[in-house]
């Protein structure tokens, strides 16, 4: 993208602020995952990656390291179509007996790891996964017992990774 995707505006404000406010409706505390050197305002509770690799698993592991007995609702900042209804559907279908509850993307025929409710039981399994040199959260979900949810609308999976994917 060439710039911080959290600063893009889709809903009249920076996406990271929009998601933070949306998640506050469903979570007792909200954090913004960031990498070292990324500028995130203190009021967005930055949680700086603590592991030495680039992958969304870094942020998930960092969250679990801080609060290992907490479930983590993870939403990628580059998914502008995630809204209140999507989060409510995810939360209402939560299965605490699985390592995660996530949406199933029927186009890709894969789980969506960055719109997922990760259970504390995932933490030691994620650590072992990374110790084995693996860093794909999607691969992790494919290898473990997860609760898969069918989306009402697949547009929730739309993500923006380059300037030409921005809405006009």
Q: Is the overall model pTM greater than 0.75, yes or no? A: yes
Residue 59: which CATH number? 3.90.550.10
Count of structural domains within the chain: 1
What integer best gives the mean pLDDT of the chain?
89
- How far, in Å, CA of 10 to CA of 135, rounded? 29
* pLDDT tens, position by position, 40-57: 889 988 999 999 888 999
CB-based burial label for 130 (10 Å; 0-12, 13-18, 19+):
middle
Average pLDDT over residues 70-92: 94
Residues 133-158, buried b or exposed e (16+ Cβ, 10 A)?
eebebbebbeebebbbbebeeeebbe
Residue 163 lies in a domain: no
> Is residue 166 in some structural domain?
no
Residue 103 has pLDDT above 70, yes or no: yes
- Judge whether 57 lies within some domain: yes
Look at residue 16 and tell me if it is in a domain. yes
Q: Which of 24-33, 60-69, 151-160 has the lowest mean pLDDT?
A: 151-160
Residue-number span of the structural domain to which 135 is assigned: 5-156
Has residue 60 been placed in a domain? Answer: yes
168 part of a folded domain: no
């Amino acid at each position: 993208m060439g710039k911080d995707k959290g600063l893009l505006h889709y809903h009249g404000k920076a996406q990271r602020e929009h998601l933070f406010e949306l998640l506050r409706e469903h979570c007792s505390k909200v954090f913004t995952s960031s990498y070292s050197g990324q500028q995130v305002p203190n009021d967005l509770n930055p949680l700086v990656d603590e592991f030495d690799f680039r992958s969304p698993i870094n942020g998930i592991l960092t969250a679990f390291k801080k609060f290992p007995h907490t479930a983590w609702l993870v939403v990628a900042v580059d998914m502008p179509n995630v809204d209140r209804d999507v989060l409510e559907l995810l939360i209402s279908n939560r299965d605490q007996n699985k390592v995660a509850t996530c949406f199933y993307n029927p186009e890709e025929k894969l789980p969506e790891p960055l719109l997922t409710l990760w259970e504390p039981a995932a933490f030691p399994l994620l650590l072992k996964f990374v110790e084995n040199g693996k860093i794909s959260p999607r691969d992790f979900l494919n290898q473990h017992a997860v609760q898969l949810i069918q989306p009402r609308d697949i547009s929730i999976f739309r993500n923006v990774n380059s300037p030409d994917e921005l809405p006009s």
